[in-house]
Amino acid sequence: MTKKNYLGNVIIFFLLAMLFKESAFIVYNFPTFGTLVLVVLLILFLITISNKTVNFNKNQKYLIVLFLALFVVILTSVTYYYTLDALTESLLLIIPSSIVFMLTITDSNPIETFNKLSKILMIIGIVISLFGIILYLFGELGVVFNKYGLVVDFGPLTIGQITVGNASLGYRISSITTNPNILGWLLIITLSSTIYLLKAEKVKLLPFLVSVILQGYALILTQSRSSLISILIIIVLFEFITSKRKKNFVIYAIILSCVALIVFFGMGFSSIGRFSEGLSSRNVIWDKLLFSFSQNIFGGVGFGNSKDLIIKNFSSSAHNIYLSLVAEVGIFGLIIFLMIWFFGIKMCLSQIKKSRNRDQLKNNAIIVSILIALIAHQFFEKQLLSYNFLSVYWIYILSFSTITNYKLDSREQTAEK
């Protein structure tokens, strides 16, 4: 990355800081870490953006209008049942999202930033996967941050990971995170980055295979159904879009499906069983959210309040971003949210159709594949519109989708000439 591309470095810093915010060590030992990161981000943003002239294109202006509309709905909803936590949660969405958007569209070389971030995410994916797998294979039952987990002793040093499940049903690993589902959606992004890097010729085949095997195995060990389905959607879509010969893609898809079935059925534990478990009592929570929405279609109970006002008697979260959002901010908020999401998809597909070079096509292909897969993922999870890595990454790739004049790397520029 060029020395002058400070904005790209700030984007990478913030996304990586948000990723490490998901680690159990940070969660249980440094609860103010997220606030500190936001303060540093704000300072860096003000320093790097001060001399920048921002010229918004038509698509960026449209996305800004949609974001502003969503933010107005969110802030207005907080006044219905005001709580300090709800206001804080709203600001922790609006401030970072606005900064990430501005940083992304003013980045002097966004595709280079994206490639560098993808390489770092691949490495992190390898490390957290290896950590979780080793503890799964060699760990013994113990206590990790006052929760059940698997631990390994190295003399005076003890390391461990939080797990869910038991020996007979199979432990669900969390690696460095606090929950298997969190590890699952982290691996969605790190695996997607790895797959993209191979297609973009930024990583060699052997490191790619090692990386995919480790991350894929770790993802299976999370037993996160939504994450497993999402990564398959991403792989199939990405390969279909970037494949020069669509007939070859059909063969590839059949092989991939067979490999997936062999791996799942060959694991020897309950990963497959979890697909037949049903909704794990989520339907009861969803009924509560739907009933609350039916009582106040246009208003809701206020952004961030559903967990305290609607499902306070449940230990689990909403596990559905759409029902949670519509119950909190009403139907108009959900419509605006979906308009933002589908606008990003539309922009990527439009650029893919108009693309005159392979780098631009591959970049938009992985972004639109992730955006589409997350639609399915968030039917069973609730991470977007929160102060976490996945939500910030979602804002980042949405913002990226509006860039139409970014530079290509030197190799592609040479090829174009």
pLDDT tens digits, one per residue of 295-354: 888 877 888 777 766 666 665 677 889 988 988 888 999 999 999 999 999 999 998 888
Which helix (H) or strand (E) segment holds residue 36: the answer is: helix 33-49
Q: What is the pLDDT of residues 37-86, one digit of tens each?
A: 999 999 999 888 877 778 888 999 999 999 999 999 998 887 777 677 78
Asked whether residue 137 carries a pLDDT value surpassing 70, the answer given is: yes
Neighbours of 415 (CB within 10 A): 12
Q: What percent of the chain has pLDDT over 90?
A: 50
Residues 145, 31: Cα–Cα separation, whole Å: 14
Alpha-carbon Rg for the chain, nearest whole angstrom, is: 21
Residues 194, 60: Cα–Cα separation, whole Å: 28
pTM recorded for the entire structure: 0.89
Of 74-78, 109-113, 137-141, 198-202, least confident by mean pLDDT is 74-78
Of 12-16, 101-105, 161-165, 261-265, least confident by mean pLDDT is 261-265
Judge contact between 374 and 383, C-beta under 8 A.
Answer: no
- What is the reported pLDDT for 18? 95
Judge contact between 86 and 302, C-beta under 8 A.
Answer: yes
**Could you tell me which residue, 240 or 339, shows the higher pLDDT?**
339
- What is the reported pLDDT for 395? 96
- What is the reported pLDDT for 417? 36
Asked whether residue 251 carries a pLDDT value surpassing 80, the answer given is: no
Burial of 94 (0-12, 13-18, 19+ CB in 10 A): middle
Q: What percent of the chain has pLDDT over 70?
A: 83
If pLDDT is split at 50, 70 and 90, which confidence band does 252 have?
low
- What is the reported pLDDT for 318? 73
* CA atoms within a 13 Å half-sphere pointing along the CA-CB vector of 377: 29
Return the amino acid letter for 86.
Answer: A
Structure tokens at 264: 């799942």
Structure tokens at 1: 């990355």
- What is the reported pLDDT for 173? 93
